[in-house]
Structures are given as C-alpha cells and as structure tokens.
C-alpha cells in the first residue's frame, strides 16, 4: 500500500520542476492526481505518470485567477471524487530588478501568483475538506521568505506572506481536521533558477553552487517532493501551521567564509 493510497490530490505548477516531481511522487504512492499548470507541459507530466501505472489527469489554468481555481477544484470533485490533499506550488520569481526600478505592476503580478494563488487554493478547497473532517493543504514558500538575499524583493515578500498565510489559516481552521503547512525550498535546480545555474556553469563555477549551506550542494525537485509527500500524507497527521526549510541547512547559519 502506498503512503497516499486511495487519496485524491491536486498539484499546481505540475508542468515542471517541483510540481512535476511532486505529482509523480504522489501518484507513485497511490494518489489519483489532478495536475494543473499554465503550460501545456502539464500533459507531459500526466503522460509520464500514466505510463508508469499511476492515475492522473491534467488541465491548464492560472493558479492566481479565481475562476481557474474554481475550475480545478470542480474538476477534482467531479473526476477524482473529492480532494484529500492539495499542493499549492505554482509560483514565479520575477527576476532581479533593483528596488528603485521595480514597478507596482511587477509586485502585483508576483503577489497574484505566489500569494493570492495559495490563498485561493485554501479558500476553495477548505469547505470540502471541512465537510469530510480531514484534509492536508501544502503551500510552497521559500527560504527567501525567512531571510534576505535568497531571492528578489517582491518574490521574497510574497513567500514571507505564504508563511504567514499557512500559520493564520491553520489557526482559523482550528478543530476542523484540516491541516495547512508550507515548504521553504533552498536553492533547487528548476526552470525558475535556470539563469543562476547557467551563469555559474558558463563561468566554470558549477562546483560552488550551494556552497553556502552545510550540505555543500544544491537540491533537486525530488527532495522537495519528498517533503510535500510527507505533509500530504497521514504520517504528518499532527503537523500543522508549520513552514519547513528544505535547504541543505542554509537557513540555520549566519553568513560565513568557506574554509578549505
């Protein structure tokens, strides 16, 4: 029996990176997964899952648009038969722009996807989870929401908001049986961080990527998916209102000089 055997799960941002790895992990552990992404690549994720013997369906949608969130929730209810877990993972970085050059429009777009998206996921799945007296909501935050210098300013602020969102939502849902938690990834090789990795490799500095954490390396999407799987499962039945850093230990330290 898989760790999510018999569960119905939704994963947003499932077209690539952490979302794809998580959808695959959920399906591998027995869940029937609805994969959601703005990109048509979400259907490649579904194909990979089904070829491996898992159960998944896919649809395109914008995680920060309420009509699209209502649509994916409705599809999960109709096609999966319910929702036991949702991983609100979809996000954007916005790129590095000096704060004096940032625009209101840039901030609004990043907050719309990264913070309003998880809020909408919570808003629209919670009634169904409360009715069944059980459910797990997982959101992707970031170490950038814990400390400075891990991401662009609006991105970092949006992820700090996600951490607060899961804490306040977990408490607002007191006694309902619905759990809300966040994952704070460190430096993970995904499409979002491609420019960092490409730049380091072009300079011949690939070996230095991730050197500032005590694990001395960067992470991969599967390592974040493993935490998402745990939080979505009944193994985490007493875990609620938390934000877990999965960052090789980066957030445990003050700045230091690597000594060799």
DSSP symbols for 187-234: SB-SSTTHHHHHHHHHTT-GGGTTTTSTT-S-B-HHHHHHHHHHHHSG
Q: Is 155 a catalytic residue?
A: yes
pLDDT at residue 195 is higher than 80: no
Tell me the pTM.
0.94
Torsion of CA 240, 242, 247, 250, to 10 degrees: -150
Residue 63 is part of which domain span? 8-189+221-246
pLDDT at residue 129 is higher than 80: yes
- Report, as an integer, the average pLDDT of 212-241: 95
Q: Is the dihedral of CA 12, 49, 232, 209 positive or negative?
A: negative
In a domain, 210, yes or no: no
Structural domain count, the chain: 1
In a domain, 254, yes or no: no
209-212 long-range contacts, CB within 8 A, separation 24+: 210/186, 210/248, 211/258, 212/250, 212/253, 212/256, 212/258
Q: Is 30 exposed, middle or buried (0-12, 13-18, 19+ CB in 10 A)?
A: middle
Maximal CA-CA distance, the chain: 58
Q: What angle do CA 40, 46, 52 make, to 5 degrees?
A: 150
In a domain, 209, yes or no: no
In a domain, 126, yes or no: yes
In a domain, 257, yes or no: no
> What does the alpha-carbon distance between residue 245 and residue 184 come to, in Å, rounded to a whole number?
4
Q: Pick the closest to residue 208 from 146, 142, 257, 141 (CA basis).
A: 257
SS3 25: helix
Q: Which residue bears the tokens 């794809």?
A: 20
Residue pair 246/252 in contact by the 8 Å Cβ criterion: no
Q: Is 159 exposed, middle or buried (0-12, 13-18, 19+ CB in 10 A)?
A: buried
Q: Could you tell me the CA-to-CA distances from 24 to 1, 4, 20, 40, 66 in Å, in that order?
A: 16, 12, 6, 17, 26
In a domain, 240, yes or no: yes
- Report, as an integer, the average pLDDT of 109-127: 98
Q: Catalytic pick from 72, 87, 96, 155?
A: 155
E-strand ranges in 22-134 read: 32-37, 55-60, 85-88
DSSP structure string for 1-21: --TTTT-EEEEESTTSHHHHH
| Residue 94's CATH number | 3.40.50.720
pLDDT at residue 27 is higher than 90: yes
**Residue-level pLDDT at 190:** 79
- Report, as an integer, the average pLDDT of 41-68: 98
- Report, as an integer, the average pLDDT of 225-248: 98
Would you place residue 28 in the very low, low, confident or very high pLDDT band (cuts 50, 70, 90)? very high
In a domain, 105, yes or no: yes
In a domain, 200, yes or no: no
């Amino acid at each position: 029996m898989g760790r999510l055997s018999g569960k119905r799960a939704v994963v947003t941002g499932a077209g690539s990176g952490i979302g794809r790895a998580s959808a695959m992990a959920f399906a591998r552990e027995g869940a029937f997964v609805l994969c959601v992404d703005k990109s048509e690549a979400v259907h490649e994720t579904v194909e990979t899952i089904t070829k491996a013997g898992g159960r998944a369906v896919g649809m395109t949608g914008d995680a920060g648009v309420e009509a699209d969130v209502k649509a994916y929730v409705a599809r999960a209810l109709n096609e999966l038969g319910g929702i036991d877990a949702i991983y609100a993972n979809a996000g954007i970085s916005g790129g590095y722009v000096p704060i004096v050059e940032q625009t209101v429009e840039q901030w609004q777009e990043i907050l719309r996807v990264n913070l309003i998206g998880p809020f909408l996921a919570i808003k629209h799945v919670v009634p169904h989870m409360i009715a069944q007296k059980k459910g797990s909501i997982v959101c992707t935050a970031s170490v950038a929401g814990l400390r400075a210098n891990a991401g662009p300013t609006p991105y970092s602020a949006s992820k700090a908001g996600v951490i607060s969102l899961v804490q306040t939502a977990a408490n607002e849902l007191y006694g309902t049986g619905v759990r809300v938690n966040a994952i704070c990834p460190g430096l993970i090789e995904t499409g979002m961080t491609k420019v960092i990795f490409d730049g380091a490799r072009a300079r011949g500095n690939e070996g230095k990527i991730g050197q500032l954490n005590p694990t001395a390396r960067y992470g991969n999407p599967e390592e974040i998916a493993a935490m998402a799987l745990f939080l979505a499962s009944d193994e985490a039945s007493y875990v609620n209102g938390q934000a877990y850093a999965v960052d090789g230990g980066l957030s445990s330290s003050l700045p230091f000089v690597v000594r060799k």
